[in-house]
Amino acid sequence: MSGFRTLFYKEILRFWKVSFQTVLAPIITALLYLTIFGHALRDHVEVYAGVEYTSFLIPGLVMMTVLQNAFANSSSSLIQSKITGNLVFVLLPPLTHWEIFGAYVLASAVRGLVVGFGVLVVTIWFVPTSFAAPLYIVAFAVLGSAILGTLGLIAGIWAEKFDQLAAFQNFLIMPLTFLSGVFYSTHTLPDLWRDVSRLNPFFYMIDGFRYGFFGVSDVDPLASLGVVAVFFALVAVLAMRLVATGYKLRH
């Protein structure tokens, strides 16, 4: 496991050395979202009975930050390594595909969770925050960050230049994230769009995570946890297959 530990440590250092950009900047961005949307809609929207809109918004912003930063970590690391040519130093050592997958995904999850925790610590000063089911908070945060770290690994393997990676993020990850119920509840949507929203796996991550704070959600949290776990298994199998075969890596 020394190879796994070394690669994991390298990936942690990679984002921590520029923490002003990778940790502080996303926290400030989340604060801006909270300030703008919370101020504009606080007195006009009540999603759940007894839960003011600013309180409703905080879990969504935390989870959105976790997901986006987990994806950014693994995807940016791989594409930079491919373009600069130092990916060979990962491929030459006798690392198994399990170790490569585990190191990249675990480091991505760490970044996502660190930034998400930072957002939570900063934003809970704005409004009182409850923790109705802490285990659900932890479970969805860990699974969500692992899923996006895995998707980032897939995107980094597939992309050959930065604009391809940007297209993957802008046309897939960003829409799925913003349309997952970060800023609204799907029960406020018309029936058609509610059904469409529930085809989005990111919705179950956000909804289940929010349940951990308020004890209410649009979908049964156990069902959401099942969907998220199955989705993680699917993307993990795909990512490990790509790493094992060396797709777009060994050429």
In tens, the pLDDT along 131-153 reads: 889 999 999 999 999 999 999 99
Candidates 95, 58, 56, 75; CA nearest to 15 is 75
Structure tokens that stand for 230 in this block: 């199955």
pLDDT value of residue 221: 94
pTM of the predicted protein model = 0.93
Query: Cβ of 19: how many Cβ atoms within 10 Å?
Result: 13
Q: Write the DSSP assignment of 7-33 as a string of letters.
A: HHHHHHHHHHTTHIIIIIHHHHHHHHH
Question: pLDDT band at 194, cuts 50/70/90?
Answer: confident
Other Cβ atoms within 10 Å of 137 Cβ, number: 21
Query: 52-56, 188-192, 207-211 — which one is most confidently predicted on average?
Result: 207-211
Q: How confident is the model at residue 42 (pLDDT cuts 50, 70, 90)?
A: low
What pLDDT is recorded for position 106? Answer: 97
CA neighbor of 69 nearest in space, from 108, 27, 31:
108
Whether 46 has a pLDDT exceeding 70, the answer reads: no
Task: Identify the band that residue 57 occupies on the pLDDT scale cut at 50, 70 and 90.
Answer: confident
* CA 174/CA 177 separation, integer angstroms: 5
Residues 226-240: what's their mean pLDDT? 97
Dmax over CA atoms of the chain, in Å, equals 59
pLDDT in tens, 156-169: 999 999 999 999 99
